[in-house]
């Protein structure tokens, strides 16, 4: 049972009590229940949500790419009032862990749906029972008090705490506050730290943190890595700067653009899947506009009783470009092209006509030098393979349903990493191949590889022979006359080098196509 700290009549959890609560949660729950209730508790502890605000949260309120939550205030009845709260790293991690269990991707869907409750979302009474069982007899509202108390005791001003907590006036906030002036982001950063010694330790021994972000569509429904690239793409898109996304097959270009468009972060989107039949593509874009919010423009141009589809199919490419420009305002729409690798000369000419009027995001494995004329006002974002740490995280999450069937887990992770070179698509394909085996033995790990993997040549024997020769050289140096010193120096140097032979042999596998 937790013994709560208190300021006046206001009870809150100390850092040690917070840690005990989360550890108790991990001890008593697992799987979906652990992910769900950890996220709910952290929404109150790290974002200051009221119980019902957390239970009734919908998907559109979450912006993981920006590390923000738009909390709908329940104190403003009859009004849709939101407060913007930055997310701590542990809250973002908890969201990523829970995201795999969220079935619906409708922005209006509840983050914590319930088939039992009449409200359609998780019941606050259930949350109360869970927190009570974990702590002894603590009300969930104590978690929100803890959030506000931490902000106040770490020197954040009353106005900032009022905005983050969603208080109606500063009189409520003054229960927690004494003085200081900090911005929202600094306020959240202040509770996302463990003290000066922990900060100094992290600075001197930085850890390679793997960034994990929930996404709306895709196999694992998460992004692993790509934080800098996603942040840059969103920043450029908001400024309406045209973007060229490049990368080899399987790097996730389409996966990235699909999730950005489906999340609504790019506003109104016209998507192009085929750049070879450019006339049909343009006709489809015009019809998409006319079947959407441009009905009145269609009636004005062609009349109400006209077979518009038949007429548009006969229009020239030049006329279709003019129609697209005339029926939209500048930068009203973003044109997303999934693959411009095989773009035709006519497609290049068309994009040159459109790229000043429309915001464009184009993905391609590569663009020929002769085709770059339409990219003069584009910024390039290149996707490369995942780092080893990111690859291991993807392997771990992708293989978690059959880890008990893998004989040598470390060998398995290393093999998948080497065979795919950090390519996300190839990693998932190789994992899927192993998943089909009833038992993944160490011998099988060595046999199964990806079709694109580089052939391996074992260089261990040549390295051992070379080192042995140099050791012999040192011995010979002791038997000769005037050149003995030089022989001993060279041989001695390589004897020291031999001390690190194990590490050298680890990198002794050379690969070629």
Look at residue 322 in the predicted model and tell me its pLDDT.
Answer: 85
Look at residue 8 in the predicted model and tell me its pLDDT.
Answer: 43
Look at residue 115 in the predicted model and tell me its pLDDT.
Answer: 75
pLDDT more than 70, % of the chain: 71
CATH number of 222-382: 3.40.50.300
Element (H, E) at 267: none
Q: Is there a shared CATH topology between the 222-382 domain and the 388-453 domain? A: no
pLDDT grade for 309, boundaries at 50, 70 and 90: low
From 157, 152, 163, select the one nearest 73 (Cα to Cα). Answer: 163
Cβ proximity of 224 and 394 under 8 Å: yes
Look at residue 57 in the predicted model and tell me its pLDDT.
Answer: 93
Measure Cα distances from 400 to 51, 177, 223, 403, 409 in Å: 32, 45, 17, 5, 11
pLDDT, mean of residues 260-282: 75
In whole angstroms, what separates CA 27 from the centre of its chain? 28
Residue whose tokens read 């906030």: 173
Look at residue 9 in the predicted model and tell me its pLDDT.
Answer: 46
Cβ proximity of 5 and 14 under 8 Å: yes
Tokens for 474, please give them.
Answer: 């040192």
Cβ proximity of 112 and 40 under 8 Å: yes
**SS3 label, residue 144:** helix
Look at residue 182 in the predicted model and tell me its pLDDT.
Answer: 44
Q: 511 versus 362: which is more confidently predicted?
A: 362
Superfamily of domain 5-201 in the CATH hierarchy: Intergrase catalytic core (1.10.443.10)
Distance in angstroms between the alpha carbons of the first and the last residue of the chain: 61
pLDDT grade for 395, boundaries at 50, 70 and 90: very high
Measure Cα distances from 80 to 75, 163, 416 in Å: 10, 15, 49
The whole-angstrom separation of Cα 421 and Cα 128 is 47
Q: What is the pLDDT of residues 409-460, one digit of tens each?
A: 999 999 999 888 889 999 999 999 999 999 999 999 988 888 776 555 555 6
Look at residue 406 in the predicted model and tell me its pLDDT.
Answer: 92
The whole-angstrom separation of Cα 474 and Cα 480 is 10
pLDDT grade for 89, boundaries at 50, 70 and 90: confident
Domain ranges of the chain: 5-201, 222-382, 388-453, 460-512
Q: What is the pLDDT of residues 472-496, one digit of tens each?
A: 665 665 655 555 566 666 666 666 6
Look at residue 201 in the predicted model and tell me its pLDDT.
Answer: 67
The whole-angstrom separation of Cα 48 and Cα 75 is 14
Tokens for 453, please give them.
Answer: 């993997």
In a 10 Å sphere around its CB, with 0-12 CB exposed, 13-18 middle and 19+ buried, how is residue 458 labelled?
exposed
The whole-angstrom separation of Cα 366 and Cα 253 is 12
Tell me which range, 45-59, 74-88, 134-148, 318-332, is most confidently predicted by mean pLDDT: 45-59
- Domain 388-453, architecture per CATH: Orthogonal Bundle (1.10)
* Range of lowest pLDDT (330-334, 345-349, 462-466): 462-466
pLDDT, mean over the chain = 78
Name, in order, each residue with C-beta under 8 angstroms of 365's C-beta and a sequence gap of 6 or more: 246, 247, 248, 249, 339, 341
CB atoms within 10 A of CB 350: 23
Look at residue 511 in the predicted model and tell me its pLDDT.
Answer: 40
Residue ranges in 399-483 assigned as alpha helix (H) = 409-420, 424-435, 442-447, 460-477
In this prediction the pTM is 0.61
Residue 39 has pLDDT above 90, yes or no: yes
pLDDT grade for 7, boundaries at 50, 70 and 90: very low
């Amino acid at each position: 049972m937790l013994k709560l700290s208190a300021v006046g009549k206001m009870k809150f959890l100390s850092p040690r009590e917070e840690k005990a609560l989360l550890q108790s949660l991990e001890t008593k729950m697992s799987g979906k229940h652990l992910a769900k209730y950890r996220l709910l508790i952290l929404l109150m502890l790290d974002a200051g949500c009221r119980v019902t605000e957390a239970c009734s949260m919908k998907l559109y309120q979450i912006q993981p790419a920006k590390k923000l939550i738009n909390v709908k205030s329940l104190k403003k009845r009859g009004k849709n009032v939101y407060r913007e709260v930055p997310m701590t790293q542990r809250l973002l991690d908890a969201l990523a862990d829970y995201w795999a269990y969220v079935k619906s991707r409708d922005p209006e869907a509840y983050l914590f749906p319930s088939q039992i409750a009449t409200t359609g979302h998780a019941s606050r009474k259930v949350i109360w029972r869970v927190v009570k069982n974990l702590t002894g007899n603590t009300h969930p509202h104590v978690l929100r008090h803890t959030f506000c108390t931490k902000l106040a005791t770490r020197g954040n001003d009353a106005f900032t705490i009022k905005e983050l907590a969603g208080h109606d006036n500063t009189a409520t906030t003054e229960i927690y506050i004494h003085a200081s002036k900090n911005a929202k982001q600094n306020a959240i950063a202040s509770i996302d730290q463990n003290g000066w010694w922990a900060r100094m330790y992290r600075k001197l021994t930085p850890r390679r943190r793997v960034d994990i972000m929930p996404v709306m569509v895709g196999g694992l429904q998460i992004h692993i890595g790509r934080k800098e690239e996603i942040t840059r793409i969103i920043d450029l898109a908001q400024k309406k700067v045209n973007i060229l996304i490049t990368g080899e097959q399987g790097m996730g270009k389409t996966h990235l653009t699909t999730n950005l468009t489906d999340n609504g972060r790019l506003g109104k989107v016209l998507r192009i899947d085929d750049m070879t039949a450019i006339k049909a593509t343009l006709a489809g874009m015009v019809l998409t506009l006319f079947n959407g919010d441009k009905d009145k423009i269609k009636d004005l141009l062609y009349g109400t009783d006209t077979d518009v589809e038949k007429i548009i199919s006969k229009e020239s490419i030049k006329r279709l470009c003019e129609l697209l420009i005339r029926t939209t305002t500048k930068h009203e729409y973003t044109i997303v092209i999934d693959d411009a690798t095989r773009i035709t000369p006519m497609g290049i000419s068309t994009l040159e006509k459109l790229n000043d009027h429309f915001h464009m995001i184009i993905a391609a494995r590569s663009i020929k030098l002769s085709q770059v004329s339409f990219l003069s006002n584009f910024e390039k974002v290149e996707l490369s393979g995942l780092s080893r740490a990111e690859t291991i995280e993807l392997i771990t999450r992708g293989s978690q349903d059959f880890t008990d069937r893998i004989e040598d887990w470390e060998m398995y992770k290393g093999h998948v990493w080497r065979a795919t070179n950090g390519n996300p698509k190839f990693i998932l394909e190789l994992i899927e191949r192993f998943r089909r085996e009833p038992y993944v033995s160490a011998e099988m790990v060595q046999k199964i590889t990806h079709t694109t993997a580089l052939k391996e040549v074992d260089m261990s024997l040549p390295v051992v022979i070379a080192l042995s020769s140099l050791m012999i050289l040192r011995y010979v140096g002791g038997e000769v006359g005037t050149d003995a010193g030089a022989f001993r120096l060279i041989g001695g140097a390589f004897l020291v080098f031999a001390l690190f032979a194990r590490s050298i042999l680890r990198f002794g596998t050379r690969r070629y196509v």
